[in-house]
Chains A and B, each alone.
Chain A
């Protein structure tokens, strides 16, 4: 015990004394052994102080055994690999591990904010609601910044996470949660039926607390039996054992999330490229919860001092890690189980005595303890603790249940305390999805009752603590629920022997003398510094519901989510109000069981995999030509191609003028394409579009508008009649999937008698627009096997054939107002045809153009874009397309809504064109016109700009806008107050700015 004062000379089932590891804690270089946790290794070095509490910054040490730890939270790793708030009890030691304590400044032992503790009397639960209100602006500028500075525990990492994560799905017949005695027994019998079984345990080793529990199975120590079972289950074909895997939540229909820490314990794995965490999404036919029980602390004055641990944790320190929690200890208990700890301590040569709150202590374990010479004081409580950074002594007082405070105390020197207030079945997962629970008087705790899902609890999780009972119950559960295959499963149950335990007696609060009682120091929720007095205060102030008390005091809201505090809190509330614990009720258990990383949720879906980008067949060409891309839905479309020495403005203008004066080429592959066929196809389209399609001639194209049932525009596009009963519909790029689904929905759910098939074919085709006065020349140059003449192939008609040898469908439609052909070829040939067109067009001055040029071109023509001129509250009539709303058809989607009074009413905003008084002024997109300009807002708004561009064709700005009664106000000049106090004035004009007669497209 020389330089490792607390490492015992012998013992430590988990550590390998031949493998020494180096690590640091707060910069101090320390040693430990393979198999240590950070908690055991630091304690072995004689340090009990691990961190500071949230509010009062009280010094804190290790309390728990594993995931229930609420005090010893540390940060591990540095820089972008730092991870805050880890429980030292769960951190497996590796060589080179760097850990830091948290929530302290400048150092752990001397923390300035621990002054909070001296002020604690002035800052009881909920104090902030009562103060910090004056003067009003001080909250934002003074008080809150101070509070925020103090907020939080650890600090976030810096920079982007260098590690990887992933998700995986698995279906199983049985998911066993928890690999203790109960879980393994259940898994064994379930596996024997041939069922597919997954067994998950949050710890690196299976066995739960078996290794620190005294009973035997078939005369073997429990740990030996466990080792046998683990080996057999690992060898089985139908079983997956998952260590370091916490089942974090249970959702509807037995969906569970399982958080596996793949590589946290071994940096070598990370270096090799293993994911750090893996999230398993498990769908289980049956869930068996064997999650064990969590030991309860006891609320006594200063029960939070470093060196005060749960009895099971103290035992584990000795047995698993060969670490002594101290030199001289006191076991404070209300039950028999903790006597095992006393015996273990004694056996390791550590000083120990027992303080038992019960009037009588007479179980077999108690007798063993007495026989071993351990001093047992019954009807006694630890009433207070002395010491600050550690325990120096306890005060022990005579105790009778129901007593508010004690009078006489005696002092006992010691340097650690092992406490046990009983055990709470770990009900979290049982309750996540609505499982019902009931209060068990024997346990003085809740245990599972009913559940709507196929889920069953066994072992300590079910409130069953006798070893023989656990085995029998778990094995039976595994057998019945595992039955999927026909294999019969007869498992021979091991014979369990253990000391019979006598019942515990509830102890929620150990009274002290006045001085200690009234100083706010009986901690219930350690991490959030919630004391018995805080809970009582909440009651006094009317925050009666347990949910109010929780929120007013924050009890149960820390990172341990009240694993060790919730029930104790209820016990205190019960005593304060005279209501029973079940009457008080529990707060809601919510996922996760223990916190799990956001990275594991995202999995590989980060960076380029976060969400897909859709590429057209020409994508790479665009990229190579330095195109700026514009997202349209998930697609990326070329926005403009900036050449050397150009800015975007210049390239857009160049592209526009090329289309107006020569010829341009646009990748329009993203346009939605849907084949629609059947004897009722025409009638069906009449229902879907506002305008008529049954009258369309074969080989012809027609522009159509679609509304939703509310009467608002949702999509538009050109539909072609390929045959009498066969149509090809084009939709907007963003609308393709939505419209295909929309058509299917109506066919399947409303007009079920229609004989119509709908097949989306968007991606079968690469599609390009060749537009401009020389478009036809390009086609001719390429060589077409169909008539290209204007009469033979007029505007709004369709041809199928070969172009430059490529199979094509060609639509003579125009969104630019120029002579224009849309050419579609199978996608794999897209790139070939694209290049061929560019080659053929070279001498004609062909230029590829992007979506921005397209938008300006169409705006010059007054064509609308769904999503620009419409915003989901715009009707076809609003945008001046009344002519496309059929008066003849009795019914089509959205027709009836157009009749609702508001949609027919006065003052609707109507689409108009705008010409600014100053031709170089380009109205900002979305700018509003006001009825009258005022010195300052508010000003009444009468409509907004929907599209606005500089038109290189007209060499001035143009805009479209939706303006109240706009069509009646032609010629009126409107004012648009824009940012910076400027007002732009613009005249209302017809929205078609260029080639009003449409002559250019018709040649």
Chain B
């Protein structure tokens, strides 16, 4: 049997030029959607047993354990990040461990495209499509937030001070990519606060 052909949502896009920040697609990311009640102790314990971490209960936070990360999505929903290879295995393990506990675990590794934006001024670029208060200290590394981005739904993950991952449903990947190309153009760079030249 020949090898399986696998293609990420943005595989056909070229490395962008002329931007004020860096933009690329992250392709090796496994994702598992986990539903269960944070108030259900059995559920939380089972998840911890498999993932090695306590699913975060605080809204908009994330927790890591080794190469596994859990992003809070709702009071009864998390997105588990890991390598693609590991996603299958973790999904099976979670399902097995959860057994009859009221829950729903789905491998959704192929459902979203992940766009990595990196560099000085990345928040300003994102603010051209998002109405969140991204300059606020609430948006420290680790923060997770669903948002409306341009005309689509997206999930924002603050990886580091100037590194952001934007998750969009894969059918919108090209749109999101093009939107960032348009708003991150170097001549359109905006600095929101900080010292500026004295206006003449």
Please tell me if A805 contacts chain B, counting CB pairs below 8 Å: yes
Residues of A within 8 A of B92 (CB): none
Q: How far is the CB of B116 from chain A (nearest CB, A)?
A: 18
| Chain A residues closer than 8 Å to B33, beta-carbon distance | 759, 761
The contact of A763 among B112, B130, B186, by CB within 8 Å, is: B112
For residues 919 through 939 of chain A, which have their beta carbon under 8 Å from a beta carbon of chain B?
none
Given A205-B199, A241-B196, decide whether A609 and B175 contact each other with a Cβ distance below 8 A. yes
Q: Is the CB of B128 within 8 A of A166?
A: yes
Confirm or deny: B83 has a beta carbon within 8 angstroms of a beta carbon on chain A.
Answer: no
Top 3 A-B pairs, shortest CB-CB distance: A832-B5, A273-B187, A614-B171
Please name the residue on chain A nearest to B76 by beta carbon.
Answer: A757
Could you tell me the distance between the alpha carbons of A762 and B171 in the complex, rounded to whole angstroms? Answer: 10
Q: Which of B6, B9, B35, B169 contacts A757 (CB 8 A)?
A: B35
B5 touches A617 (CB 8 A): no
Name the A residues within 8 Å of B9 (CB-CB). 617, 827-828
Residues of A with Cβ closer than 8 Å to B? Answer: 164, 166-171, 196, 204-206, 230-231, 234-241, 243, 269, 272-275, 278, 281, 283, 603-605, 608-609, 611-617, 620, 634-635, 675, 677-679, 726, 755, 757, 759, 761-765, 783, 804-806, 826-832, 835
Q: Would you list which residues of chain B between 96 and 149 have a CB under 8 Å from chain A?
A: 102-104, 106-112, 124, 127-128, 130-133, 135-136
Chain A residues, Cβ within 8 Å of B35: 677, 757, 759
Task: Say whether, besides A757-B76, A759-B106, A239 and B193 are in contact (CB < 8 Å).
Answer: yes
Assess A273 versus B7: contact at CB under 8 Å? Given A635-B171, A761-B111, A827-B110.
no
For the complex, give the distance between the alpha carbons of A272 and B6 in Å: 40
- Judging by beta carbons under 8 Å apart, are A196 and B135 in contact? yes
Nearest CB to that of B6 among chain A residues?
A828
- B64-106: CB near A (< 8 Å → 1, else 0) gives 0000000000001100000000000000000000000011101
Q: In chain B between 153 and 200, which residues have their CB closer than 8 angstroms to a CB of chain A?
A: 169-175, 178-179, 182-183, 185-188, 190, 192-200
**Which one of B76, B174, B192 has the highest number of Cβ atoms from chain A below 10 Å of its Cβ?**
B192
Q: Contact between A605 and B172 (Cβ–Cβ < 8 Å)? A: no
User: Is B7 in contact with A828, judged by CB distance below 8 angstroms?
Assistant: yes
Given B1, B6, B127, B173, which contacts A170 in the complex, CB threshold below 8 Å? B127
A273-B185, A617-B170, A827-B111 in contact; A806/B4 too (CB < 8 A)? yes
Q: Inside 8 A of A757's CB, which chain B residues have their CB?
A: 35-36, 76, 102-104
A805 and B4 CA atoms in complex are apart in Å by 7
Complex Cα gap A726–B102 (Å) = 11
Q: How far is the CB of B200 from chain A (nearest CB, A)?
A: 7
Q: Does B17 contact A (CB under 8 A)?
A: no
Known: A605-B151, A620-B12. A679 touches B111 (CB 8 A): no
Q: Which of B104, B109, B150 contacts A677 (CB 8 A)?
A: B104
Q: A604-B179, A612-B151, A615-B171 are in contact. List 19 more A-B contacts (CB 8 A).
A: A167-B128, A170-B135, A196-B135, A204-B200, A235-B198, A239-B193, A281-B131, A609-B150, A613-B174, A614-B171, A677-B103, A726-B104, A757-B35, A757-B103, A759-B33, A761-B111, A762-B111, A828-B9, A831-B7
Q: Is the interface of A mostly helix, strand, loop or mixed?
A: mixed
Known: A236-B195, A604-B179. A612 touches B152 (CB 8 A): yes
Q: How far is the CA of A829 from the CA of B132 in the complex (A)?
A: 35
B169 near A611 (CB under 8 angstroms)?
A: no
Shortest Cβ gap from B14 to chain A (Å): 14
List, sorted by A's number, 18 A–B pairs whose CB atoms are closer than 8 Å: A166-B188, A167-B128, A234-B196, A237-B193, A240-B193, A240-B196, A269-B187, A272-B187, A634-B171, A678-B102, A757-B104, A761-B106, A806-B4, A826-B110, A827-B9, A829-B4, A829-B110, A832-B7
Assess the A234–B6 pair: CB atoms within 8 A: no
Shortest CB-to-CB span from B3 to chain A, Å, is 8
Q: Is B193 within 8 A of A238, CB to CB?
A: yes
Residue of B nearest to A262 (CB): B188
Give B41 Cβ to nearest chain A Cβ, in Å.
16
Task: For B102, list chain A residues within 8 Å (CB).
Answer: 678-679, 755, 757
A169 cross-chain contacts in B, Cβ below 8 A:
127-128, 130-132
Most buried by A among B109, B131, B171, B190: B171
Query: Which of B127, B193, B194 has the most A CB atoms < 10 Å from its CB?
Result: B193
Determine if A804 and B1 form an interchain contact, defined as CB atoms under 8 angstroms apart: yes
Contacts of A608 in B (CB 8 A): 175, 178
Complexed CA–CA distance, A765 and B170 (Å)? 11
- A residues in contact with B185, CB < 8 Å: 273
Q: Considering the chains assembled together, what is the distance between the CA atoms of A171 and B6 in angstroms?
A: 42
CB closest chain-B residue, reference A839: B2
Q: Are A614 and B1 in contact, CB atoms less than 8 angstroms apart?
A: no
In angstroms, Cα B191 to Cα A240, docked, is: 9
Contact A763–B171 (Cβ < 8 Å): yes
Chain B residues within 8 Å of A236, by CB: 195
- Judge whether B170 and A827 touch: CB under 8 Å: yes
Report whether A831 and B5 are in contact in the complex, using a CB–CB cutoff of 8 Å. yes
> Which chain B residues border A835 with CB–CB below 8 Å?
5
Q: Are B179 and A609 in contact (CB under 8 A)?
A: yes
In the bound complex, CA of A170 to CA of B131 (Å): 7
Asked if B198 contacts A234 (CB within 8 A), the reply is yes
Kindly state the separation between the CA atoms of A726 and B39 in the bound complex, as whole angstroms.
Answer: 22
A828–B196 CB distance below 8 A: no
In the assembled complex, the Cα of A321 lies from the Cα of B152 at a distance in Å of 49
Q: Would you call B104 and A759 a contact (CB within 8 A)? A: yes
Query: Chain A residues with Cβ under 8 A from B12's Cβ?
Result: 620
Bound form: Cα–Cα A281–B130 in Å: 10
Contact B127 A609 (CB under 8 A): no
CB pair B171 A761 closer than 8 Å: no
A604 contacts which chain B residues (CB < 8 A)?
Answer: 128, 179, 182-183
Q: In the complex, what residues of A have CB within 8 A of residue B112's CB? A: 763
Q: What residues of B have a CB within 8 angstroms of the CB of A806 in the complex?
A: 4
CA distance A875 to B103 in the complex (A): 35
Report how far A18 CA is from B189 CA in the complex, Å. 31
Q: Which of A171, A614, A830 contacts B136 (CB 8 A)?
A: A171
Contacts of B183 in A (CB 8 A): 166, 604
- CB pair B106–A783 under 8 Å, yes or no, is no
A726 to B105, CA, bound (A): 11
State how many angstroms separate the Cβ of B191 from the closest Cβ of chain A. 8
* Contact in complex: A614, B172 (CB < 8 Å): yes
Neighbouring A residues of B170 by C-beta, 8 Å:
617, 763, 827
Closest residue of chain B to A240 (Cβ to Cβ) is B193
Decide if A829 touches B5 in the complex (CB within 8 Å): yes
Task: Give the residues in chain A near B2, CB-CB below 8 Å.
Answer: 805
The answer to whether B188 and A273 touch across the interface, beta carbons within 8 angstroms, is yes
Q: Chain A residues near B130: list those with CB within 8 A.
A: 169
